[in-house]
């Protein structure tokens, strides 16, 4: 079982140090520290275990070190920056692991950019040695790349010539869409195993700056200082400690503080029951700070994030996620009001950004997402995003016979109109209303109202609204039917329907780039017995089927 929970004292591959406004995160991979047996993590190459620590570091820097304005990503080894994802690990991994590994590493790269762009914690790469493949893709996620100017330090994306796969962690997209490398130069660069160094790397925009070895530390410090001056981070904020996410697995039940997941293997479905806040929100940001990781929105974000990752990696055969909530609409809305009111406070801002990232992770999960809105549920505001992230929503029209709770209602808050934009740059509500003349703005007038099933259906918050008589059969059939379809076809369909409207660099990475990579990860030229990924390091040359498709 893969566990995504870690903390700096347990890191095997990264060294994190903080001095004033500058943090340094040095990659120093333990060769024998692979997550699975069968490969050694040579040359600062990484596997999922290395990336789990990186993801944790990105997160902790934001919450635990609010005074940090610049993060310097560098290598702790003398002669190499990073050789990218470990090839033997990739060669031996299942298709599903490869795909999920790439998705998670992509999400982590995006969270680095989110820290730089939304959170004022600006990442720079101090590339102090050869930097290949996924190593360069890590640097590409930073806002500034400083490359050592010596005989050996080059940046490269050797995947195509060497391994017959793509740079799968956003590299191709970031080259042309973020760094605006001219596409003909990018073509040459991506087919040149040895990469590009020195002045040409700067001229082609592959890096921002070069410095000789003798001046490298000095140049790094100077650049960090200059970037720090651009940050709007608070100077004297106190961090909050991200205490361990408490999880208890009992058979097919997974318990967290704010939610429980129950797996029904027969129907290949997992039901998430999310519990709304049990107490009213604290009065202000200072009180939020005092609560720290126990503050319900943050606790919920971290619990849900862990549950998503756990199910993605450890429960691949569970194809449908059913989302339920229990609690009080008004209580959730009260927390949303606090998030909105205190949105300029660094911690509240971070919590909102964290919720945003977790909701994006949900959108990007290759699982069917159904939501059920029943009596006692609390889909308001932030939790209503779950409805809008769903492939379908079933909402009971009226009550259940013999159940004296009132019929369910849903509620929109201001949080549905901006803070939680998806990878396409649209709000989830706008994604549902692309066809409306007024778009999502029409929904704005209903903010704060308790919406019954017909009203929710009209606003795109519910797909179907069966009554007591039809509810059980309709929901059961929908879930069972889903389990009968091809998981692959559902993945492709959901990836096509979930992201209507515009694309952004971020969404292009998950669509254009990732979908092609997944295809290549299935092709004999990469993974067949004579494929390049399989034969890497064996001394044998791959044999390719030369047909273009």
Tokens in use for 111?
């969270």
- Closest CB to a second copy among residues 151, 502: 502
State which residue, 45 or 517, has the beta carbon closest to a second copy. Answer: 517
Q: Closer to a second copy at the Cβ: 173 or 416?
A: 173
E-state strands within 350-407: 368-373, 392-395
Contact 453, 407 (CB under 8 A): yes
**Distance of alpha carbon 362 from alpha carbon 450, whole angstroms:** 25
Total length of the chain: 549
Q: Which two three-digit tokens encode residue 415?
A: 């949080």
Nearer to a second copy, 224 or 269 (CB): 269
User: Which one, 275 or 534, has the nearer CB to a second copy?
Assistant: 534
* 215 Cβ neighbours under 8 A, 6+ residues apart: none
Calpha distance 229→62 (Å, rounded): 17
| 126/140 with CB nearer a second copy | 140
Minimal distance, residue 206 CB to a second copy, in Å: 12
What burial letters (b/e) apply to 480-512, b meaning 16+ CB within 10 Å? eebbeeebeebbeebbeebbeeeeebbbbbbbe
Considering the complex, what minimum distance in angstroms separates the CB of residue 338 from a second copy? 30
Residue 361 CB, nearest distance to a second copy (Å)? 15
Nearest approach, Cβ of 160 to a second copy (angstroms)? 5
- Chain centroid to CA 391: 19
CB of 524 to a second copy, least distance (A): 9
Per-residue CA distances from 110 to 314, 410, 431, 509, 526 (Å): 23, 31, 21, 10, 27
Beta strands in 350-454 (DSSP E): 368-373, 392-395
Task: Give yes or no for a contact between 144 and 208, defined as CB atoms under 8 angstroms apart.
Answer: yes
Q: CB-wise, 179 or 446, nearer to a second copy? A: 179
Gap between the Cα atoms of 208 and 216, Å rounded: 14
Q: How far is the CB of 26 from a second copy (least distance, A)?
A: 31
Q: CB-wise, 37 or 435, nearer to a second copy?
A: 435
Strands 70-75 and 22-27: parallel
DSSP letter for 410, please.
B
CB environment 308-345: b (16+ within 10 A), e (fewer): bbbbbbebeebbbbbbbbebbbebbbbbbbbbbebbeb
Looking at the Cβ atoms of 36 and 519, the one nearer to a second copy is 519
The CB-of-96 to a second copy minimum distance in angstroms stands at: 4
- As measured in angstroms, the least distance from the Cβ of 497 to a second copy is 5
Closest approach, Cβ 432 to a second copy, in A, equals 6
d(CA 240, CA 69): 16
């Amino acid at each position: 079982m893969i566990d995504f929970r870690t903390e700096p004292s347990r890191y095997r591959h990264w060294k994190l140090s903080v001095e004033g406004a500058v943090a340094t995160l040095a990659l120093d991979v333990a060769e024998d520290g692979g997550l699975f047996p069968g490969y050694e993590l040579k040359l600062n190459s990484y596997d999922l275990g290395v990336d789990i620590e990186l993801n944790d570091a990105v997160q902790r820097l934001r919450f635990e070190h609010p005074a940090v304005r610049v993060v310097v990503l560098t290598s702790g080894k003398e002669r190499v920056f990073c050789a990218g994802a470990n090839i033997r690990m990739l060669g031996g991994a299942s298709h599903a692991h490869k795909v999920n590994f790439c998705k998670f590493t992509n999400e982590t790269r995006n969270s680095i950019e989110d820290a730089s762009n939304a959170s004022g914690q600006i990442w720079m790469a101090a590339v102090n040695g050869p930097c290949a493949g996924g190593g360069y893709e890590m640097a590409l996620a930073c806002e500034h790349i400083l490359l050592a100017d010596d005989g050996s330090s080059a940046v490269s994306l050797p995947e195509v010539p060497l391994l017959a796969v793509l740079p799968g962690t956003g590299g191709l997209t970031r080259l042309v869409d973020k760094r605006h490398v001219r596409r003909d130069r990018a073509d040459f660069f991506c087919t040149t195993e040895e990469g590009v160094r020195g002045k040409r790397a700067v001229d082609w925009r592959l890096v921002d700056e070069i410095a000789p070895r003798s001046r490298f530390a000095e140049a790094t410090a100077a650049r960090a200082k200059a970037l720090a001056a651009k940050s709007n981070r608070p100077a004297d904020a106190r961090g909050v400690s991200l205490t361990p996410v408490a999880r208890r697995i009992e058979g097919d039940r997974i318990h967290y503080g704010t939610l429980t997941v129950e797996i029904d293997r027969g129907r290949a479905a997992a039901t998430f029951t999310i519990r709304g806040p049990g107490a009213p929100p604290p009065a202000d940001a200072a009180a939020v700070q005092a609560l720290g990781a126990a503050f319900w929105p943050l606790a919920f974000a971290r619990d849900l994030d862990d549950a998503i990752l756990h199910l993605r990696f450890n429960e691949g055969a569970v194809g449908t996620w059913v989302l339920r909530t229990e609690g009080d609409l008004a209580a959730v809305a009260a927390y949303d009001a606090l998030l909105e009111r205190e949105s300029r406070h660094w911690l509240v801002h971070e919590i909102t950004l964290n919720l945003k990232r977790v909701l994006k992770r949900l959108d990007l999960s290759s699982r069917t997402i159904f939501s059920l809105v029943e009596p006692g549920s609390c889909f308001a505001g932030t939790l209503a995003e779950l409805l809008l992230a769903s492939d379908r929503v079933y909402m009971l029209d009226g009550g259940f016979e013999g159940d004296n709770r009132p019929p369910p209602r849903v509620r929109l808050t201001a949080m549905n109109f901006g803070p939680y934009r998806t990878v396409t740059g649209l709000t989830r509500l706008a994604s549902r209303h692309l066809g409306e003349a007024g778009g999502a703005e029409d929904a704005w007038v209903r903010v704060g109202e308790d919406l019954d099933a017909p009203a929710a259906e009209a606003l795109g918050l519910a797909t179907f609204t069966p009554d007591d008589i039809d509810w059980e059969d309709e929901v059961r059939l929908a879930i069972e039917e889903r389990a009968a379809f091809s998981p692959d076809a559902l993945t492709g369909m959901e990836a096509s329907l979930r992201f209507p409207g515009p694309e952004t660099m971020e969404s292009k990475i998950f669509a254009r780039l990732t979908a092609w990579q997944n295809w290549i990860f299935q092709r004999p030229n990469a993974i067949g017995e004579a494929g390049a990924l399989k034969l890497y390091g064996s001394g044998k040359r791959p044999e390719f089927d030369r047909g273009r498709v």
